[in-house]
A and B are shown apart, each in its own frame.
Chain A
Amino acid sequence: MTAFTVVVFALALAVIAFEWIHRTKVALAGAGLIVIAGAIDAEHAIEAVDWGTLGLLAGMMLIVALTERTGVFTFIALRLAQLSRGSALRLTFLLTGATGVLSAFLDNLTAILLVVPVTFLIADLLRISAIPLVIAEVIAANVGGTATLIGDPPNILIGTHVDELSFNDFIVNLAPVSVVTLVATIGLVYLVTRRKLAVAPERIESLQRLDPRADMAGKPKVKRSIAVLLGTIVLFFLHQTLHLEPAVVALVGATVMLLVVVDDVDDALRTIDWSTLFFFVGLFVMVGALEERGVVEQVAQWIGDATGESPTGEAMALLWGGAAGSAIVDNIPFTAAMIPVVDELNANDEGFVDTNWWALALGACFGGNATIVAAAANVAASGVAARSGQPISFMRFLAIGLPVTLVSLGIATAYLLVFQL
């Protein structure tokens, strides 16, 4: 039964990585097979689902989708593009900086879906190639999302699983290294692609003639939506003090949004990405079965043996192994599978030690930059680009993503060695 569980999980990972079948279908089919075969009973399968993660995701999806309707994010992107005054350097850093911040406080997938279509518009106006900017934004989204508990699905999985880690812990331990990595990696992307971003002087005026405020002016309840979003972010900073789980904060924010902004509740609830939530349900059940069958304990044992149970060795294995795993398969299932492994590795520690969690978060999030399939944000950007008639090939992304990942892992290694170990 253990071998069957491992084979089903490995097959599911492969099918998800190659996008042969929609990932939600794969996760639910894998979970169904495993439960029907008896690798995990129904009661334990339901217990394996991390309802905190689902609540956090659903709440934030609702808040962000309803705030998006106000046009505030388009306003920000267009205004920043105008502030660049046609300078490729300023344009790159302003757009990617905004993507990084949006990614940290919304989530990286949402940030990409908000920023990338506007980037195509800006590039069209300036008669430059949008693809270098889009690739830089994907990288910024993955790096920016690393900075907070809610920024990237691997962090959401870790943050909702480990009660000792608060929203502020993520910011204190991951935001500084994320900012340094963002500047370094976007600088690298700019150096490689700057020739494609040169703007003809006569095109700059077309950008300045845009009116970024026009859409917000006509939208009702703009101030209320933005206030609820900002209030929710403030609550995240205070959640430990207030003894509120992150999922509770997100769901309270979503409920307030429904109360003060929404007229048609059914229409609002349709903005939740149910496919992603069901993907997570299937994933949690499969990982629960791996735990139940002792596979997780075995993997932790191998890592412990290979690293001589040295804290430095374990952290490096999680960072680099996490990045490699995330680069090959989607970083969400990979992190879900690695969380119980880290639990096992930490089991012998005296007191709570957070280093391995930061190593896993950095590895999984930064590894998401290596290939076009490594993170949900990459896949989403690739989809928008294809629909916009400018597809990003696997190799084109890899040519930039792989060096960027190696640079970011180098920075993360130095950070862990100097500040965490």
Chain B
Amino acid sequence: MNLLSCKETSRLLSQGEDRRLAFGERVALRVHLAICKGCRNVSRQFRFLRQAVHALAESDAGK
């Protein structure tokens, strides 16, 4: 079983937004996230960024 560091987890969380992770990667992520609150927060924040960019396109904040 490959244990991830937080650094590797952050990298994989980002890649998970861009490609389908391999089964082993998904398992390793799940194990790490179960014990690491910081990385769980990062996971939500990466996903939130996508929503935020969409909200930006719908707004007229730039004017």
A and B bind: no
Residues of chain B whose beta carbon lies under 8 Å from any beta carbon of chain A: none
